[in-house]
Amino acid sequence: MSKGISVRDRAPAVPPSLNAGTPPDATLITAQGPGLLPWLMEAWRTRRIALMLARRSLKARYRQTWLGAGWAILQPLLLMLVYWGIFGHLLGVPTGGDTPYPVFAFTGLVLWQFFSRALMDASASILHQAHFVTKVYFPRLHMPLASLMVAAVDMAAGLVCLALLLAAFRIWPEARWLLLLGPLALLLVTGAGAALVLSALVLRFRDVGHLLPLTTQVLMVAAPVIYPAHLVHGVMGTLYRLNPMVTVIEGARAALLDTPAPEPVPALLSVALAAGLLLLGLRIVRRTEPAMADLI
């Protein structure tokens, strides 16, 4: 059997009795060590696995479709048109300035689409690829990360469409657009943390997977995707701004559309919460990894 493929998926410390039961022509491979850092270093060395899984998912998603990756643009575009008609025209939701509502809404929808994919696709990535978990050893971190890569590709296509939409409304690039890198980095950290936590929870509690569609819809209402954050006031507004997605969306709009920027203190606290969520997700996946084959 070639090196890199294991016959078992065991805990990092392998007892001699397990080695005794392994065929002489097989190589038993487990994690490099019990700690988080050796595991992350191993994941970095084997990062090509995540790229391979992401490429495989992209091909499977858009195979035998006419539009292909165009669906990543069409979905938020159609939602923007619906929200424009309801919230922009009928209800007259303000955008916090002179920003046209289509640009305002599409900015939030493109960023939210990445986060919703992290909740829905990446969280179920380990469960849906049980054949890999039970037969081949590699850091299971690669599975949710590969799904996040696919979502990032879709988001990149959406951002290109957003740039064209900005040009259509005569909003031209400025130096402040570089500030968009900050909200995008926070979005990646938040999405990765949520995906890792949920991917481990889905394995132990399948009810979590059934609740995710409803949870995603509720969280979208609790984020300023189709309305500005300044409409939420008081104590509720303070707690509301601790949501990292509020900082992501409002920060991106401030960079691109010159709308009011997120308040500094709640924004910093939301960054700390996102970083803590990512660390928690890494630890949960690391501790759950030896038992994943049995849980599936």
What tokens appear for 258 in the block? Answer: 């010159």
Structural domain contains residue 89? yes
Structural domain contains residue 32? no
Average pLDDT of the chain to the nearest whole number: 82
pLDDT at site 11: 42
C-alpha distances (whole Å) from 53 to each of 60, 137, 140, 195, 272 are: 11, 14, 12, 16, 30
Structural domain contains residue 153? yes
Q: How many structural domains comprise the chain?
A: 1
Structural domain contains residue 108? yes
pLDDT at site 3: 43
Q: Among 199, 190, 295, which residue's Cα sits nearest to residue 245?
A: 190
Residues 222/243, Cβ–Cβ less than 8 Å: yes
Structural domain contains residue 27? no
Structural domain contains residue 193? yes
pLDDT at site 125: 83
pLDDT at site 16: 47
Structural domain contains residue 175? yes
CA 177 from chain centre, in angstroms, equals 22
Specify the pTM: 0.82
Q: Where are the alpha helices (DSSP H) in the chain?
A: 16-20, 36-45, 47-62, 71-83, 101-120, 125-128, 130-133, 142-168, 181-204, 207-221, 234-240, 244-257, 264-288, 292-295
For the chain, residues with pLDDT lower than 50 are 1-20
- Domain containing residue 79: 46-295
**Total residues belonging to the chain:** 296
Model confidence pLDDT, tens digit, residues 179-204: 999 999 999 999 999 999 998 888 88
Structural domain contains residue 34? no
